[in-house]
Amino acid sequence: MCFFCGILWADETAYPSTGTMKEQIAVIILAAGLGKRMRSPKAKVLHEILGRPMLSYVIDVAREIAGPSVIVVVGNQAEAVRRAVSGAAAVRYAYQDRQLGTGHAVLCALPQLPDDCEQVVVLCGDTPLLTAPTLKTLVQDHLAAGRDATLLAVELDAPKGYGRVLLNDRHQVCGIVEEADASTGQRAIRLINTGIYCVTRRFLSEALPKVTPENAQGELYFTDIIRIGYESGRNIGVSYGAAPREILGVNTPEDLARVEALMTGRSAIIS
């Protein structure tokens, strides 16, 4: 068990063990933050879009590629988050008792991974427009290339607020720099990190303990595993192809209204 965190609870539904590819993939969803920019006492992932908590949409997509092997990392208002989504889907929960960064959140979830899990997909709980085909493409790309870690990246005309993907002279990914830590030149990079990854369980377990809080926020950044993998000669790559709107994160009431408008339009097309 992680020194800083423990397991709060686990649904009693057992993971199946038939060995299919879906059951060898687990998804970790980061949903422990408060979301101060929402200007609301409600946990960010509980804000509703078309009558459902935004986290519910992310769980739906996660289950498309991992079945019941979905772990939601909770912290702030943990019980409320669990109550809001448990009735709709059988998932497991890990508890992050202190907000020490995304790397720490994933570390808290590791003990909840099923025994037969070989690949781990990491998602954020505030990206409700993400679709299953995009995640499936990420996993297929990752597996076909035999990578240790693959991050989903997109190019944005206005990348402000996102971490930038760093490429070396051979156009290989060598790291991710958060905007708060980026130089002026790095902030001009348009290729951004979506916060969505597919990582082998073995590499994840090896890399996370090497992450340190040496950054402007003093946090354990999950993004540092990309640099760690590159520097140690691991097979690290980027998957492209997601529509920019799919990776829109909800951080403010304005973001929430924009995503709800897009979701409404998507629903109208489907119906």
132-145 and 54-66 helices cross at what angle (nearest 10)?
Answer: 40
How far apart CA 246 and CA 90 sit, in angstroms, is 24
Fill in the amino acid letter for 143.
Answer: L
Q: Pick from 101, 76, 121, 77: which is nearest to 2 by CA?
A: 101
Name the one residue in this structure whose structure tokens are 């908590």.
Answer: 53
How far apart CA 142 and CA 151 sit, in angstroms, is 9
Helices (H) then strands (E): counts for the chain: 8, 12
Is the CB of residue 117 less than 8 Å from the CB of residue 183? no
From residue 260, give the alpha-carbon distance in Å to each of 43, 64, 105: 17, 22, 27
Considering 37, 83, 98, 202, which one is annotated as catalytic? 37
Q: Pick from 143, 136, 135, 102: which is nearest to 119 by CA?
A: 143
Q: Pick from 29, 21, 30: which is nearest to 142 by CA?
A: 21
- How far does CA 245 lie from the centroid of its chain? 16
Q: Can 234 be counted among the known catalytic residues?
A: no
Is the CB of residue 166 less than 8 Å from the CB of residue 174? yes
How far apart CA 152 and CA 142 sit, in angstroms, is 10
Residues annotated as catalytic (active site), given as ranges: 37
